[in-house]
Structure 1
Amino acid sequence: MNETGTTVAFIISCFCFAGVVILSRNRIAMPMRRYLAITAIVMMILAFAFLVYLLTQGVHF
């Protein structure tokens, strides 16, 4: 898989992880909930940064 494919896979997995954390927030133990939420936020910020980088480089999906 090339660099673009790897980045797109990371972006998709970030969105999926954030969705799972949001949908199952009531079933996650309270101490772990904060760390998962912070991890999801950091991953989403990275995903948006990668997306902006790819779009500014002229890469088409």
Structure 2
Amino acid sequence: MGGISLGKLLVVAVVIALLFGTKRLRSLGDDLGHAIKGFKNSLNSEDKDNTTALTHEDHSQKS
């Protein structure tokens, strides 16, 4: 009743590769990478927008 060993992970990886094929897995990996990159970029741009909005509010309140 142990955890997941390296052998078990290897068997699962081989079964997944046989089911989906390496080309499809590669394209799924690329798609996932692009999705994660887009998510990070949107979070960073949202943070920059919030910071810019706050600085504009600070300047308008001082005037």
Normalization by structure 1: what TM-score? 0.48
RCO higher in structure (CA 8 A, sep ≥6): 1
Structure of larger gyration radius: 2
Structure number having the greater helix percentage: 2
